[in-house]
Structure formats: C-alpha cells, structure tokens
Amino acid sequence: MTKARKTNVADMTAVELSHLFETKKLSPVEATKASLERIAKCNPSVNAYCFVAEEDALNAAKESEKRWFKGEPLSKIDGVTSSIKDLTLVAGWPHRSGSLTSSENLANVDAPFSQKMRQAGAVILGKTTTPEFGWKGVTDSPLTGVTRNPWNTTLTSGGSSGGAAAAAALNMGVLHQASDAGGSIRIPASFCGVFGIKPTFGFVPQWPASAMTTLSHLGPISRTVQDSLLMMDVIAKPDLRDWYSTRIFDGSWSDQKKLPLKGLKIAYSPTLGYIDVDAGVLKLVDCAVNALKEMGAEVDLIDPGFKDPIDTFSTLWFAGAAKVVSTFNEQQRVLLDPGFLQIGIEGSKIDIVDYMKASDQRAELGRSMQEFHSKYDILITPTLPRTAFKAGQNTESAYQEHWTDWTPFSYPFNLTQQPALSIPCGVLDGLPVGLQVVADRGNDLLAISIAKYIEDLIPTQFLDAPRS
C-alpha cells in the first residue's frame, strides 16, 4: 500500500524528519515549533505534558540546525522532538513524580536516559504526566490531575506512561520516554493506539533505581515501530550508574530487517488460560494472528501454562510502595494518592519470609517461560482484555479492587523480565486495540519483527486533534 506523503510537519515521523534535516529541506527549528504548536493546541484537552520547556527546546533545535547544516549530526534523531516521563531526572528541570510531596527544586543531574537523548541531539520538549510515583495503570495524580485519551477525552489514557502515550498519539513530540514495571508502557500504548516496547530488563539503564526495583524497565513509545528503534539505538547502552545495565546486542536496532516468518513458531494464547476477554478485542487479535499464519508463520493455539501470578506480583509491588511511603512523615502522607498510601500500608505488613517466597515464585515463572521459549519463538496475546474506560477511576468497574484486576496480560512479563511490546491491531467501536508480542530474554528483535509485520498488515490510524 502506498502511503500518502505528509505535508504537515507536526505529523511527521522521526524517520521522515531525519531525512528532511539531512537533505536540508526542513530545519529542526521548524519541526520543534510545529511540535510546540501541537502541544499548545492539544495538551489542554488531554493533559499529557506537566512541564513544557519551550525556550530550552528552541535553543536545542537551533544547535541541532547548525550541526545538520555542517553535515555533522550527533545521531539520526538529532533535532527530533521528544519527551521524558516525570519519573526521570532532567538536569535543570522540576522532578515531581506526580506527587504533592515532591519539592519544586530543579534536578541537578541527568538520568542516563535523559543524558543519552541529549547527547544524541534530541530536542526534549518537556516532561509527561505520571500517576504518583508511577504506582498504577491509569494516569492521574494529586499534583497534575487526570490525563485523558486522545481518542475519547472522557476515557483514560492508561498508565502509568499515559502522558507519553497520549502525546505520541497526537504527535506532541515524536519520541517519548516511558517506564514499565507492571505494564506501564504497553497499557497506555494499547489504549492510545501507538507502539510501545518494554525491552529486556537491563538493556536500557535506569538510575536512580525504581522503587519497584527489577520489575521496572525503561523504553520508548512512538507512533511507529521504526521511530522507537531509532530511539533504542541511543538509549540501549550501558551506564555505570545502573549495576543491572547490560549489553547483549551490539548492532544497530534501526538497521535490522524483518526476520522471515516462514518456520517461525508462534504460540497464540488469547486468554493465558484464565482471562475473560472482550469478544471484539479477540476478533481483532485473531485476525492479526491469522494473517501472520497465512504469511508462513507456524501458529499453535496454546497457553504458556502458568497460573495467574497476581499474588507474587502484588507482594513485590506493595513492598516497593511501602519503601516509598516509609520515607514520608504523617503530614506528607496526607498528601498522597489514597490508593498509593493504602498499598504502601499493606506492603509494610508483608513478612520477609513471604517476600522471599514471592522471589522464589518469580524465579520459577521465569524458568517456566524459558522452557516455553525453547519450543516457541514468540508468544502473542491481547495487550488488554478491553478498550479504554472512564477517566479518573483506577478500575474498569466497582467489582475490581486494584488496577491489576484489568491488566492481567502485562505484569507476568515484568516478573520474567522478558521483552514485551504492544502494537495496534485495529479499532473497536472507535477505540484502539493492542496486540502483545512477547519473546525470550534478549530476543527483542524477534518480537520487533512481528510488530513490523503487523504494522504493515494493519496500518495504524493517527489523530491530529483529540476527540471528545
């Protein structure tokens, strides 16, 4: 299918912008102004950005313009507009984490992610919203309010990287940093109709360490797969500040071609054996999987064989919340999101023996998935059982107690530290549906190949303004 040539700079991808910068048909300053105008137009309706640094962005764009003019760009994303989630340090900018308990003091150092983006010449526009300390699967906080879904602003964007996903859906900046300790890249990517990947744990360095420790991965959200790969070229490099950071893949992420589907063994698990999924969601995911089968992939309808690991995950998650809450006095605790405070209190009651048992259960789940991937290259599931629900509430219905009740496909693969991504696979009743691709640890490029095939098969619909 021939893609129409874009003429609106604000709608362009990183790939397109980089080419235009190289051929001197467009300036990074023009691209940055277009992104800032899109933010001014759209952000009031969705609340994706909690901080915009217009002057800093334009200054960075001017420096990028000089480099491209001399033919000396720092990277392929030099001059491309981007954002950082407000859980990550950016030197000279506020670091609030969505919390009224935070200080208005400016950060004095870049986190590895911010540093690598700046060193690559990316133009960072500002910081995107997060629930308080990234604690849940929707994005609202006592500090910044409710972040809304661009496809329907009465609905949630998902979370905790809901600001990044909403910004990507509207191209309020092109490349967006996100984090995922229980689904926080994939959930909002699915709800907002964009691409997001949680890379293998350790591929993208994280410092300071997340409160959720080794559950937490950093990664990109963007409109297209290739744009995220350009970002991975920059961010997937070790940093001495993160003891867990590693390098398994030394090549260029963005130069990798799609791997052949013929002979590839795909396990398709529409429910993981225990999840109730909306029939419309299943139909769209089924269609995408069938298309892969028709193109030569070997597809088996099979579950990976584990029981819902919610108790294991909750033990580790609540303990992480308890660690954060323990740093606050009584006056500060009154300011916290009540839901976050509650799981912190519950986490403080977890016995050390129970915590260690949860760690053992996690290790067993990881072992079982490694064994599973000795038989299957890829696992495909829906990203979420349903489409987006009403904004401003933590759960889909009153019958659900925690955000994990409606995100059962995502958190298992934080426990196992595997690469897992969400790619749009269609629209149901006016709302995007995401398909999740999971690979064995270190096999991120295999999952990305599947995402590229689906992206080609099912062209993503993009928005230029929020819908109400």
CATH number of the domain bearing residue 449 = 3.90.1300.10
* Catalytic-residue membership of 184: yes
**Cα dihedral value 10, 388, 306, 416, nearest 10:** 30
- pLDDT-based confidence at residue 247 (cuts at 50, 70, 90): confident
Instruction: Confirm whether 462 is domain-assigned.
Output: no
Q: 390, 384, 422: which is closest to 404 by C-alpha? A: 384
Domain range for residue 173? 10-457
- Which tokens is 422 given? 């969400």
Is the link from the previous residue into 397 a cis peptide, with omega within 30 of 0? no
The Cα 441–Cα 429 span in angstroms is 35
> Are the C-beta atoms of residues 219 and 197 closer than 8 Å to each other?
yes
- Which tokens is 209 given? 């360490």
Asked whether residue 4 carries a pLDDT value surpassing 70, the answer given is no
> Are the C-beta atoms of residues 188 and 164 closer than 8 Å to each other?
yes
Residues 6+ apart with CB under 8 A from 108: 91, 92
315-329 average pLDDT score: 98
Instruction: Confirm whether 303 is domain-assigned.
Output: yes
Q: 450, 420, 449, 448: which is closest to 436 by C-alpha? A: 420
* Catalytic-residue membership of 262: no
Residue range 353-404, pLDDT digits in tens? 999 999 999 999 999 999 999 999 999 999 999 999 999 999 999 889 999 9
Asked whether residue 251 carries a pLDDT value surpassing 90, the answer given is no
- Which pLDDT score is estimated for 2? 35
Measure Cα distances from 275 to 187, 402, 405, 417, 439 in Å. Answer: 16, 16, 10, 21, 20
Asked whether residue 5 carries a pLDDT value surpassing 60, the answer given is no
Question: What is the share, in percent, of the chain residues with pLDDT greater than 70?
Answer: 99
Asked whether residue 343 carries a pLDDT value surpassing 90, the answer given is yes
Q: In this predicted structure, which of 163-172, 173-182, 459-468 has the lowest mean pLDDT?
A: 459-468
- Which pLDDT score is estimated for 237? 94
Asked whether residue 258 carries a pLDDT value surpassing 80, the answer given is yes
* Catalytic-residue membership of 349: no
The Cα 413–Cα 159 span in angstroms is 16
Asked whether residue 250 carries a pLDDT value surpassing 90, the answer given is no
Instruction: Confirm whether 325 is domain-assigned.
Output: yes
DSSP 94: B
Handedness of CA 411, 414, 415, 419 (dihedral sign): positive
**Cα dihedral value 285, 286, 289, 293, nearest 10:** -170
Tokens 């937490």 found at:
216
Q: 430, 309, 425: which is closest to 358 by C-alpha? A: 309
Residue range 94-110, pLDDT digits in tens? 999 999 999 999 999 99
The Cα 180–Cα 411 span in angstroms is 9
Q: How many domains does the chain have?
A: 1
Active-site position among 18, 184, 190, 210: 184
End-to-end CA distance of the chain: 30
Asked whether residue 73 carries a pLDDT value surpassing 70, the answer given is yes
Measure CA 206 to chain center: 14
Instruction: Confirm whether 393 is domain-assigned.
Output: yes
The Cα 62–Cα 368 span in angstroms is 51
Residue 7 region, left (φ>0) first, then alpha (ψ -120 to 50), else beta? alpha
- pLDDT-based confidence at residue 460 (cuts at 50, 70, 90): confident
Active-site position among 18, 82, 141, 160: 160
SS3 state of residue 421: strand
What rounded mean pLDDT belongs to the chain? Answer: 96
Instruction: Confirm whether 299 is domain-assigned.
Output: yes
Instruction: Confirm whether 311 is domain-assigned.
Output: yes
Active-site position among 33, 76, 85, 127: 85
- Which pLDDT score is estimated for 249? 73
Instruction: Confirm whether 216 is domain-assigned.
Output: yes
Instruction: Confirm whether 452 is domain-assigned.
Output: yes
Angle, CA 56 vertex, CA 52 and CA 58 arms, to 5°: 100
Alpha helices by DSSP H, listed for 222-309, are 225-235, 279-294
Q: In this predicted structure, which of 164-173, 309-318, 369-378, 453-462 has the lowest mean pLDDT?
A: 453-462
